Structure formats: structure tokens, C-alpha cells
Amino acid sequence: MCGFVGMFKNAPLENEERDLITRMSQAIAHRGPDEDKALNFERLSIAFRRLSIIDLEKGSQPFEYGDRYVGIFNGEIYNYRDLRAELIKEGYTFETNSEIEVMLTLFSIEGERFINKLRGMFAFCFYDKEKNTVMLGRDPFGIKPLYYMHREGRVSFSSESKAFYLDPSLDKTSIDKTQLQHYFTYQYVPEPSTLHPEIKILPAGHYMVCDFSADCDVRVERYYTPTFRPQKSDDFEKKAELLRRTVEKSVEYHMISDVDVGTFLSGGIDSAVITATASKLNPGIKAFTVAFGVKEYSEIDEASGIAEHLDVEHIKLVAGLEDFKRAFDKVVYHLDFPMADPSTMAIYLICEEAARHLKEVLSGEGSDELFGGYRVYNETLTSSKIYSLPKLVKTPLNWLSRVLPDKVKGKQLLYRGTTPLSDRYVGNAFIFDEESKRSILKTFDPSVHFTDVTRDIYRDVQGLPGITQMQYVDMNTWLRGDILVKGDRLSMAHSLEVRVPFLDKEVFELASTLATEEKLSHGTTKYIFRHAFRDLVNEETVMRPKLGYPVPVRKWLRRELYDWAKDIIVNSGADEYIDKKEALRLLDAHRDGSEDNYRKLWVILVFLRWHSLYKASYLG
């Protein structure tokens, strides 16, 4: 787990550009405190920050392979030992036990196609001196980040976008108004875009080839598409057993390390399975749990019961309002761009605590997307009967669902049942609708619609069951833009590596075959997954619904955080984007209980604080 920056140009680099790379590397020093190293060539400058996990003595980067290839790499390749053994059989020799040497060996043999052999989380930059080309690549699910800026004749890249803000030629005041509008729906900006019009993120499952030998060609290719092909098995128990073996094997691969590994433990089934499986491989493993000191927002008791049942060391962190306030600016800064998920506060604090004990933890992200775990997926069953009604009946029911007051029971069921999935579901979060955005955003453009992001995604899964379509949308939006962003940035803020065993190609291949009734059944979500691991933990844990790092923002914004939030709104410098009067109205309505606006307020507050931090306090 590390970080890197670099610049590749179709002309010799100037001294100022090489100096910029040095400063960009310093901006992401938290990603790799163990080593700092750079290499300069006539047209390429790269710098690497290392957090030592594998081959502590010889795994230094940038790595030069022969006289032709140079590489830098962030992440972990879990099958690198298998690949290394195969290459040795073919006569290749190795000087280190590192992943990067295996990757560059494969690259020298197979070129771009080598990326298909990798099983893991990664972002990399490989330089071919002979061809004068650079290949940038990112893992299939987007676990590891890779940002880039492409200007005429120059490509710069970084593990975190904050590094680009040190470039004096970058207009720091520039904001992509279309993406700002999408942020207010999604609570993040969906990739490959960011809130800055010049900064992009290489999409998950893609690689980029920069060829400056001739016409400065930059080519982006997709090499991996998570394809769902649901098929009900005639032997449910056999399929459940195979699922369990596949997950257990993935956990085993994800524990390959030369340092101690821990786990994050909540009160739910995902982290319980990870912790239980990992503890069999390492009985001395540590499990970490965070909660805020408000009972209804705490999973500590449930997590303690799981830890006791598994007989693992349990480290508990109970945070309070002052911890929340202390962490807020740091969370906003480290997330790079606005991402308004309140759980980020809990994740930042538990990563901070875990980093005091070790360098690496396992976490349960991805299980809900792969196995159908979100409660919202149940709506495909409850609303299907209404959706099957004749259009003549559905049309007036749809109108009724739009004019009924929000508090009327059944309003949402009517709306879901009479509205096509592709017109209403954009992933696990939907904050501001178009009318609400018109009220809060001074830059609102009626020609921009939230479905602009998901239209092509739905086209890929047309004709598949509703839950499968929702999973695919979540994998391409919510998982990449929210779940994995907060997991990477907030762990690396503390130089901590987080590994996610569920987001593995082999696990996905099996999960992709699950039928609807194997995911939604017996009154619960991801039924076959719960069934496969039912003997590891008690029945209560197996059936417990997901909470997901709950934070008492809803409660605190009514009293404890009211003045704090009002101060952010009143003193913000983003008047050209946000209608302060409407923002304050939302805050007051939330305080008096007439409206539940905490999610909308959090989107506003995070954007306003990001705007202040990135344009003043941190980057000037």
C-alpha cells in the first residue's frame, strides 16, 4: 500500500516540472511514510511513497526491470506468488520477493494483456523506454485510486488529486457545474469525473496508454466488466458450500503479508465472517470497533458479543462530539473532493485507532453489492405487482404518488411501483431531486439530469431482474464513488492499509450467478451468504440488518451541531454556487422537526467546507 505521482511529456521536462513532482509527492506523504524515492528521465518523472507490507527489505520502488522497463505500483497482488512460481517454471529468475518485479516481468512478456492475470487491488504506472510509452492501470473494482490530468503533450497522474492543486498552472477556482449538480444527487461525483474540470479519475477496470513517440496519443481501454448472469442452482446447499470456500480462500489470499493484520468489526454478518475466517488463520488477530456515545448509534454491544464468541482481542473506540468536530476538516481534506457520507467520520476515527496498533486491516466492503445486501433491494419485490398493472392504471397512480404529502403512508411504494427503475434508482444514495437542486444551487441547469450518469449503466443490464440491475448500478456508482473512496483515503490518511476480501474477481464470478431468490428470501437480504456462514456466529448476528458505521448527525444537527453548521453556511465563500437563505431554511426546519433534512444538510456542509479548505486554508 503506497502512493505515487508522475508526469510524462512529449518534450523534455523542465526543472520546474521536476520540482513540481517532488512537491506533489510531499502532498501524499501520508500514503507511504516508510520510504520516499524518485526517478527522472528526459520525458518522465515519477515519485513513490512506500508503506512497507510485502518484501520489507527489497520491495523498494520505483523498480527498474532490465534496461527497458520501469514501474511503480500501489496496492496488493494476491496471486503474485502463484504467478511468480509459473514464471520460474518457464525459466525466469527473480532478485526480490516483490509484486512489482512479477508484474513487470509479465508486462515484458505479454504487454498490455498482462493486466488480466492480476488478482488484487492496484494502480500502477509502467514505462517502456524503448517504445517511449507509459501504461497506467487500475484494478477491476476501483479499490485503489488513480487520478490524472491530460493537457496537450503532457499527462500528470497521482494517487490523490490534492497533489494537482500544487500545480501553479491549475485554476483552483474552477468547478465543473455539471458535476456539482450530480454531487447534490449522489453525495459524491461519479467517476470518471471530479469536481474539477481538468482532473479525472481512471475508471475501475480500465488502463490508459500514453504514446508520445509520434502524435501524443492517449488511449483508454476497458479490460474488465463485472457481468451478472443469474441462474438458480438445483442444489442450493452445494452452491452455498462453494460460496463459503471461495470467500474463505479470498480471505486467505488477502492475509498474505509480512506485517500483522487486523479486522474491522461491526455488529453485522459481513465483518463477522471476515473476522471469524481470519481468526482461524491467525488466532491472535485484533478486531476494531468504533461507535459514538449515543446508544441508538452504537454497535459496540453487538460487536463485543461477536468478538467474545470468536475469542478474538477486541479494541473498542467510543467517540464523542468533540472527536467528531476535531476530525471533520481532516476528513474533508483527505477525501480530495466533496463526499457527503456521514459514516466517513466514524471510519476516519477507527482507522486512526487501528493505525496505532498495526499497518493492515481487513474490511467487509463489497458484500452488499455482490450478494444483494441492501434493504432497498427488497423494493423490487414489493413494487413489482404494482409495476405489472396496465399503463392506464399506473399513470394516475404515479401522479398521485407525486402530489401526496411525504408523510402519507404508501406514497413511496406507489412511486416506486409506477416509475421505471432507470428513472428513479441511481445507487444507494439519492439526496436532492431536480426540484430541490433548483432551490439550493444557483448554478442549476435544467438540461442536466441525474439519469445522465446511469443511462448507459442500465443499458448494460437491460432485461435482467430488478435486484441485479440495482446491484450493477451500485457497483458502478455507489461502490466506486463512496464506499471505496472513503475506505482508501481515510485509511491512508493514517498510513493504514485496508484490504477488502469480498471484492475479489473469484468471489464476484460466483456471486454473479446468484438468482434473485438466493439473495432475497426468508425475509432477509443476501440469504445464501448468511446461510453459508450460519455456523460461524450466532443466529442473531446471521440475521441482523446492516447499520454501516452509524453517526448521530441527524440528532446533533438539531442541537449540538446547530450553531456549528450555521457558522459554516453563513461564513462560506461559495455564494456563487449555494443559496445561503435556502440552506439556512433547511437547517432551521430540521432543528424544529418539521423536516428531516440531515442528509441534504450534510451534502451542503461538506461542499462548503471543501470549498473553503481547498481554496484557502490548505492550498492557497
What is the rounded distance in angstroms from the CA atom of residue 204 to the CA atom of residue 223?
9
Whether 216 contacts 204, CB under 8 Å: no
Prediction pTM value: 0.94
H helix count then E strand count, the chain: 27, 17
229 found inside a domain: no
Least confident of 38-47, 84-93, 295-304, 455-464: 295-304
Position 487 in a domain: yes
Please say if the pLDDT value at position 563 is more than 90: yes
- Domain extent, residue 578, equals 552-620
Distances (CA, A) of 580 to 6, 176, 337: 40, 20, 21
User: What CATH number should be reported for the domain holding residue 102?
Assistant: 3.60.20.10
At 390, the pLDDT band (50, 70, 90 cuts) reads: confident
150-191 pLDDT per residue, tens: 988 899 999 999 999 999 999 888 999 999 999 999 999 999
Residue 442 covered by a domain:
no
2 counts as catalytic: yes
Same domain (yes/no): 53, 86: yes
Phi first, then psi, for residue 118 (nearest 5°) are -85, 135
Instruction: Check whether 53 has a pLDDT greater than 80.
Output: no
Counting the structural domains of the chain, the total is 3
For 130: left if phi > 0, alpha if psi spans -120 to 50, otherwise beta; the answer is alpha
Instruction: Measure the CA–CA gap between 547 and 268, rounded to whole angstroms.
Output: 8
Instruction: Give me the catalytic one of 2, 125, 210, 351.
Output: 2
HSE (CB half, 13 Å, CA atoms) of 94?
25
pLDDT at 286 over 80: yes
**Both 44 and 169 in a single domain?**
yes
> What does the alpha-carbon distance between residue 501 and residue 255 come to, in Å, rounded to a whole number?
9
Q: What is the pLDDT of residues 529-541, one digit of tens each?
A: 999 999 988 777 7
Residues 264 and 303 in one domain: yes
In this structure, the number of other CB atoms found within 10 A of the CB of residue 483 comes to: 27
* C-alpha to C-alpha distances, 15 to 20, 46, 148, 271, 338, nearest whole angstrom: 9, 14, 21, 49, 33
190 and 323 fall within a common domain: no
> In 3-state terms, what secondary structure has residue 524?
strand
Same domain, 144 and 55: yes
Q: Is 383 within a domain?
A: no
pLDDT, tens only, 334-352: 999 999 999 999 999 999 9
User: Are 270 and 316 found together in one domain?
Assistant: yes
- CATH number, position 497: 3.40.50.620
pLDDT at 570: 96
Measured distance CA(587)–CA(81) in Å, rounded:
55
Backbone angles phi, psi at 534, to 5 degrees: -65, -25
Give the range among 75-89, 287-301, 306-320, 455-469 with minimum mean pLDDT: 287-301
User: Is 269 in the same domain as 312?
Assistant: yes
